[in-house]
Chain A
């Protein structure tokens, strides 16, 4: 696992919750020393959009207990800037669209919906995380 993903995993707060079988939720708090804030941007740290997506991917990989091969990201909207120490709830839902498995993620903070996006993986390779 690369360093950025390791730090994302270390930023989890609380336990994973699973409502229905296809929905997984995790909460995160990225501290000011989180590596994703370093250089993004100097004097104005905000969580990079791609780190928000990567956070959702780590949830799915952890849930499936294997490394997955990302094939696409689509319909992404980033509404709010996410600053250090924000508590972020990430909810991932697995959907079936035309026989394809698609994941939809929503990141929410106290102020409301911060971002949402969909992503797909190739067939599982069964590579351990």
Chain B
């Protein structure tokens, strides 16, 4: 039976510990066991957007981390557990291919490629329609529930 409160798409507000203005993603669109897809809408007045409407390039790296947090948070909530804090431990490599502007609607696709003792290696790809904006691998640690 479908829990309608958990029906996707779902705003990330109750899935990640981040809050505005440091919350850079908006909705969880897809969830699968080891990954998912998150939407981010870039708005003109965000703290990482210049006067000329250009988003700070590095912001998309944080979007990958927050997308993974949303996926984990959704998994936790499905399992009846509270949402946990996660921390960046490292970046293997992230490449940035295109600039992002206010008004853009981005999709962040994340997939867990390794998971040991709370440490996860996550592949992330950020797209705008069919264009790849950024891609890379990051390493995160998610706090265990107490």
Contact = CB atoms under 8 A, between A and B. Distances in A.
Contacts of B113: none
Contact of B61 (A39, A69, A73): A73
A77 B85 contact: no
Contacts, number: 88
B19 A42 contact: yes
A39 B22 contact: yes
Interface residues of B, number: 31
Given A39-B20, A41-B18, A77 B50 contact: no
Contacts of B91: 73-76, 117
B21 interface: yes
B94 A72 contact: yes
Interface of B: 17-23, 47-50, 56-59, 61-62, 65, 85, 87-96, 99, 136
For the complex of A and B, list the 7 residue pairs with the smallest distance between their C-beta atoms, beginning with the closest.
Answer: A39-B19, A76-B91, A49-B88, A74-B93, A39-B22, A40-B22, A70-B57
